[in-house]
Chains A and B, each alone.
Chain A
Amino acid sequence: MSIAAMLTGQTQYQAGTHDDDDFDDEGILAASIVEAIQNEDDDPSQTLQNIQSREDDLQSRLQAAATPLEYQASLEARYASYDNYCSLFHYILNSNGPVELDLPTYYWAWDVIDEFIYQFNNFCAYRNRLAKKGQNQEEIASLRENQQIWGCYSVLNILYSLIQRSQMNEQLAAIKRGEDPNTVAGEYGSRPLYRMLGYFSIIGLLRVHCLLGDFTLALKTLDDIELNKKAVFARVMGAHFTTYYYVGFCYMMMGRYSDSIKAFSHILLYVTRTKNFHNKSSQFDSISKTMDQMYALLAMCVALCPTRLDDTIHSSLREKYADQFQKLQRGGPESLAIFEELFQAAAPKFISPIPPDFDNSSNNIDPMQHHLQVFMLDVKNSMMAPVLRSYLKLYTSMDLQKLAAFLETTPDDLRTKLLVFKQKSRQYKWTEGGLLSGETVNTSDLDYALQKDLIHISEAKVGRKLVDWYLRNLTRSYA
């Protein structure tokens, strides 16, 4: 039974017993994820007595599952919330046949999945903090005994199970082929409850993989979803927004800055244009916080891969991060601190897939530090690019020795910097198909070639845009 194994963990917690050998425990969870769902047997313990009351019950339980947990929630409340999610999903997935309930709106399903992952993320951060401080012995003892609660395997298990139960990937593939998704949806997937939970679980997976630092698998999970305004997630603001944030971030971590810039610009522009429709919604606070984070990420990407932004985006960016943006674009060692600052403020709150080491609190490194460190290696490597750029822009040919003298460095050093500059300007860029595919393109408007010590520099210019001007004047002459 798929979720059943996960629930053993729950009973253990309730009975107050624990299994010291968490290896075995993880083993069971892992095996359960593998068997997930293909097992069509129903749990015999689930007997349906009164369908009507169950339906009401489910509605209120879904509502509870979509309600945010208090920020200061106690450990007990967090455990209890986890148990509620488990039994709710267990009921939805493993009852006698599909559960009957028409979802009132799309938002429900998104809110449930969103809150589920948020609480998971938050719990991991809480646990890590506690282990690092090593003060609250009572809570540490409790966490030590209940390592399976909010475990990665069980969270992934639930998301994968929801996707498989609803045949969501098969349905999306059918839509892509232009066929009727109902032909492959099956008994479960044809119902809105399962369809929506399955669909948003895919976006949930994108998020969880990204939080664990697996950026390529994160993008891979979206293979069957086409990123455009017609996609289902675009109907739910929060989902639309979250998807682009994580897609943009994953691209950034893959060094595909131009794809990242495209993703961030797209969603920021969309939100700016539709702001008036959203600013009354309760989610708007969290949306505007995420927007600020995306502007920060965008600033970093543009510094690493100079790109002309949409005018609206560009002016908002300068409004929000004027000082930092300028320093980032100037490059050099002074920009490093800004990169670190913005990354820590704008990256998702990474989690560690395994419980912390409670015995040696100093062994617990914040996963954020780890990912930041790896990212900064790449940034350090390209931090001189803006300085080089500013010089190269001035000439069409230049002697290497002379330029080295200007930059107060050695010709050998300058040559390696030029080589790096070239490598960084060649990036994978998406053109069609899955998000992981792409072609190598030149993303820079500046290019160069070395003939021994002579640098030939070329520039890609954008010709004058006449059509807009022509049309504007034409309209004026009509009036």
Chain B
Amino acid sequence: MVSFDHAEERPEHITNILNGLDRYNPETTTIFQDYVAQQCEYGTYDCYANLALLKLYQFNPHLARDETITNILVKALTVFPSSDFSLCSHLLPPSLLNPPPNSQVSDLAEAVQKLSGLSTLLESCQFKEFWNTLDSDDLYADLIADIAGFEDVIRTRIVGVTASSMREITRELLESWLNLDGDKFDEFVKETAGFTIQDDVVFVPLNKDNEAKPTITRENVKFDQFSRVIKRAYEQPA
């Protein structure tokens, strides 16, 4: 069982801030910002803490740092198909996703909308289009630059989605989903994903999600349900 506010490897000083009223203290902004940078560098992830930072920004807009906001959003992309990206979006200033008419779109608003577009592509499982979009503009490369191993993490997530729905998939299709080919594809699929390849078909081992076994839920009978009948039997001896 997993709880949303739980994060592996969360340092103690962050835990203390999150559990106390210091989470509202604007002075903790820098501590959270460093923590985001640390997550980007070491590939850890702590959505609950990042939401606390977005909340601080929400209350103190003058403290907000564009780079940290986009990094938090890119980190949220790496855990799709969870709802983290939309939970972060809810705490952003409304003007970013919904720029007021006749105003110049800020750099941040442009970045946020681009990332939101990426999120939509991932959520709607259009993986080929996702990679194409990512390559289409240099801005994307800038946005994901801080996040170590971004592309491989996304690939692992796509593998997860694939494993939950597929038993067999053509090599060509999976290549386009993972944006890999040749030896790199073979290595990733065999080593990281644990699938097997035969000729042009990739085989996914059976798991509880791709079994699709018909089930029948049977009635669970409890003794209590009969208590009245039994009581009656005592009350009116035949």
Which A residues form the contact surface with B (CB < 8 A)? 23, 26-27, 30-31, 33-34, 36, 152-153, 156, 160, 212-217, 219-220, 253-255, 352-354, 360, 362-363, 365-367, 369-371, 373-375, 377-378, 381, 416, 418-420, 422-423, 426, 428, 431-434, 436-439, 442, 447-452, 456-467, 471, 474-475, 478
Q: Is the CB of B24 within 8 A of A156?
A: yes
Nearest chain B CB to A356 CB, angstrom units: 11
Q: Is the CB of B164 within 8 A of A433?
A: no
Q: Is the CB of B91 within 8 A of A30?
A: no
Q: Is the CB of A450 within 8 A of B24?
A: no
* Chain B residues within 8 Å of chain A by Cβ, number: 69
Q: Is the CB of A420 within 8 A of B123?
A: yes
Across the two chains, which residue of chain B brings its CB closest to A436?
B4
Chain B at the A interface: mostly helix, strand, loop or mixed? mixed
Nearest chain B CB to A172 CB, angstrom units: 15
B38 at the interface (CB under 8 A from A): no
Q: Which residues of A contact B89 (CB under 8 A)?
A: 374
Q: 12 new A-B pairs (CB below 8 Å) besides A216-B5, A353-B58, A458-B214?
A: A33-B25, A214-B55, A214-B90, A354-B59, A365-B98, A369-B98, A381-B123, A420-B124, A423-B164, A432-B1, A436-B5, A464-B219
User: 8 closest pairs, A vs B, by CB?
Assistant: A370-B94, A437-B3, A419-B125, A365-B94, A436-B4, A255-B83, A213-B90, A449-B212
- Identify which of residues 120-141 in chain B touch chain A, using a CB-to-CB cut-off of 8 Å: 120, 123-126
Which B residues form the contact surface with A (CB < 8 A)? 1-6, 21-22, 24-26, 48, 51-52, 55, 58-62, 81, 83, 86-87, 89-91, 94-95, 97-98, 100-103, 116, 119-120, 123-126, 161, 164-170, 201, 209-219, 221, 225-226, 228-229, 232, 236
- Assuming the A-B contacts A216-B51, A436-B4, A449-B166, are A377 and B95 also in contact, with contact meaning beta carbons closer than 8 angstroms in the complex? no
Q: Which residues of A contact B91 (CB under 8 A)?
A: 213-214
Q: Is the CB of B98 within 8 A of A434?
A: no
Which of A420, A426, A442 has the most chain B CB atoms closer than 10 A to its own CB? A420
Q: Which residues of B contact A433 (CB under 8 A)?
A: 1, 3
Q: Please tell me which one of the listed residues B1, B165, B201 contacts residue A431 in the complex, with CB atoms under 8 A apart.
A: B1
Nearest chain B CB to A121 CB, angstrom units: 17
Q: Is the CB of B103 within 8 A of A34?
A: no
Query: With A and B bound together, what is the CA distance between A27 and B26 in angstroms?
Result: 7
Q: Please tell me which one of the listed residues B81, B201, B221 contacts residue A452 in the complex, with CB atoms under 8 A apart.
A: B201
Across the two chains, which residue of chain B brings its CB closest to A446?
B212
Q: Please tell me which one of the listed residues A36, A215, A434 contacts residue B21 in the complex, with CB atoms under 8 A apart.
A: A36
Q: Is the CB of B83 within 8 A of A254?
A: yes
Q: Which residues of A contact B216 (CB under 8 A)?
A: 460-463
Q: Which residues of A contact B166 (CB under 8 A)?
A: 449-451
